[in-house]
Amino acid sequence: MDQKRENNSIVIDVKNIKKKFRVYSDRGGTLKDRILFRTRRKYEDHWVLKGISFQVRKGEAIGLIGENGCGKSTTLKMLTRILYPDAGKITMKGRVSSLIELGAGFHPDLTGRENVYTNAAIFGLKQHEIDSRLDKIIAFSELEEYIDHPVRTYSSGMYMRLAFAVAINVDADILLIDEILAVGDASFQAKCFQKLQEIKSRGTTIVIVSHSLNQIEQICDRSIWIDEGLIRMEGTPRDIHPYYTEFMTRKTQKRDEKEAKEAKKAEEAKLATQPDPDNPNRTGSGEARMTSVRVLNATGEEASSFSPDEEITIQIDYTAHKDLSNAVVGIAIYRSDQTYIYGTNSLIDTAESVRLKEQGTIVLHIDRLPVANGSYTVDLALHRPDGLNYDFWKEVFTLHIADRIQTPGIIHLPHRWDIR
């Protein structure tokens, strides 16, 4: 019975899918060319996907990440049935809504209102269903004064607003999104993310393709890293993204470097990014290393339990192979359920890089940690301004925050009552 219930919760099942495209080196552009020069029609099969498998459960949000050409958008298009795999099988349960290409399904000469009806009908809504949701769609898009104008007069941001407003109001079981949230102003993006969290909480399954790791971290429970047509890693964004960031930084650096000395450094960094065999929670090039970390209370004693109003001092001893004049010290705090609470680094706070000597100490003073009762893990990092880690240490220590009244919720809000 439990196995049956578990299988029923899977709404997307991708089994060993493969996809190829033919790349022609000399293809005739006219019928005459194709008849006369048949021998020139040479092509190569380019396998974009070489056999990937994953499952997504109801209400889960996953992000597909990877560099351009890795196959993530091709995967999403096969989920929408725009493309079909050459091998393997995709099973999906429920109504699917998608935002794959900006304005796809919109007719430029129709008004925004008319395109709402057309686009919603493509998603399977009937006339009376669209009528009942029209006002909500228009209000969310914030295009009231332009809704009866032809969409060819819309900017790309207006296209995105209308397309997104339609897609999230079809009550889909599965929502597929490909990079479209990169369009639009910051306030509307924030509104979109809030809406995605809302529909996710109602049980909608979400699959997002994005180069913005921050977007993935805000919405997704799991990241799937696709590299050269195969799944390289998958897990929580917090676990996967440091490896992916290092991979992309090294790749860009190697491509841009012209001098032999810099190329050698990039290769050394590449060889040094494996997890520490003695501590799988640590990665980095090793050019600088945190040797010890101590957490102190206001009296200078080591502690792990604090009240929300209590001062916390973090003392980091480090060593470096040489003086590093362009370094950054970072911290991230997570609640026990992996909710990202806070993060900052020395470059954000001071707009200046840190100079690491061959040996030294870094001290971070936190005036207070105003969160509700619970356990919070802390990640620390020594890295370059471009993100390449010298030493990334996940879950260095755990802070236990508690007050005498056991404050519920997420934050501890300083307050007082004045009852007359």
Q: What would the mean pLDDT of 16-36 be, rounded to a whole number?
A: 71
When pLDDT is cut at 50, 70 and 90, the band that residue 147 belongs to is very high
DSSP element (H, E) containing 238 = helix 237-256
Q: Kindly tell me the burial class for residue 7, based on how many C-beta atoms sit within 10 Å of its own C-beta (0-12, 13-18, 19 or more).
A: exposed
Answer whether residue 300 is part of any domain. yes
Picking from 26-30, 68-72, 153-157, 403-407, which range would have the lowest pLDDT averaged per residue? 26-30
Answer whether residue 284 is part of any domain. yes
pTM, two decimals, is 0.63
For position 266, what pLDDT does the model report?
A: 57
| Residue with tokens 């898009």, as numbered in its chain | 141
Q: Which of 222, 270, 211 shows the shortest CA–CA distance to 243?
A: 270
Contact between residue 407 and residue 372 where contact means Cβ atoms under 8 Å apart: yes
DSSP state for residue 371 in the 8-state scheme: B
Q: Which of 152-161, 304-313, 401-410 has the highest mean pLDDT?
A: 304-313
Nearest-angstrom CA–CA distance, 420 and 408: 26
- Using DSSP bridges, classify how beta strands 174-178 and 205-209 pair: parallel, antiparallel or unpaired: parallel
Asked if pLDDT for residue 273 goes beyond 60, the answer is: no
User: Which residues, including other chains, have CB under 8 Å from residue 58's CB and lie 6 or more apart?
Assistant: 9, 10, 11, 173, 203, 205
When pLDDT is cut at 50, 70 and 90, the band that residue 412 belongs to is confident
Q: Taking the CB of residue 182, how many other CB atoms lie within 10 A of it?
A: 12
Answer whether residue 177 is part of any domain. no
How many CA atoms within 13 Å lie on the side-chain side of 205?
A: 17
Answer whether residue 298 is part of any domain. yes
Q: Which of 120-129, 248-257, 262-271, 300-309 has the highest mean pLDDT?
A: 300-309
For position 155, what pLDDT does the model report?
A: 85
Q: Which domain holds residue 340?
A: 279-401
Contact between residue 98 and residue 176 where contact means Cβ atoms under 8 Å apart: yes
Answer whether residue 360 is part of any domain. yes
Instruction: Kindly report, residue by residue over 294-346, the tens digit of the pLDDT.
Output: 999 999 999 999 999 999 999 999 999 888 888 999 999 999 988 899 999 99
Q: Which two tokens stand for residue 183?
A: 């369009």
Instruction: Kindly report, residue by residue over 204-257, the tens digit of the pLDDT.
Output: 999 999 888 888 888 899 999 999 999 999 999 999 999 998 888 888 777 777
Asked if pLDDT for residue 384 goes beyond 80, the answer is: yes
Answer whether residue 232 is part of any domain. no
Instruction: Return the CATH number at 362.
Output: 2.70.50.60
When pLDDT is cut at 50, 70 and 90, the band that residue 184 belongs to is low
Q: Which of 220, 175, 181, 209 shows the shortest CA–CA distance to 340?
A: 220
Number of domains making up the chain = 1
Exposure class string for 188-226: b at 16+ Cβ within 10 A, else e: bbebbeeebeebbeeebbbbbbbeebebbebbbbbbbbb
Kindly list the distances between the CA atom of residue 38 and the CA atoms of 23, 28, 30, 269, in Å, as whole numbers in the listed order: 16, 8, 12, 49
Report the mean per-residue pLDDT for the chain. 85
Handedness of CA 145, 147, 148, 150 (dihedral sign): positive
Q: In terms of residues, how long is the chain?
A: 420
Answer whether residue 147 is part of any domain. no
Kindly list the distances between the CA atom of residue 125 and the CA atoms of 91, 96, 116, in Å, as whole numbers in the listed order: 22, 11, 11
Answer whether residue 225 is part of any domain. no
For position 25, what pLDDT does the model report?
A: 63
Q: Which of 85, 92, 100 shows the shortest CA–CA distance to 52?
A: 85
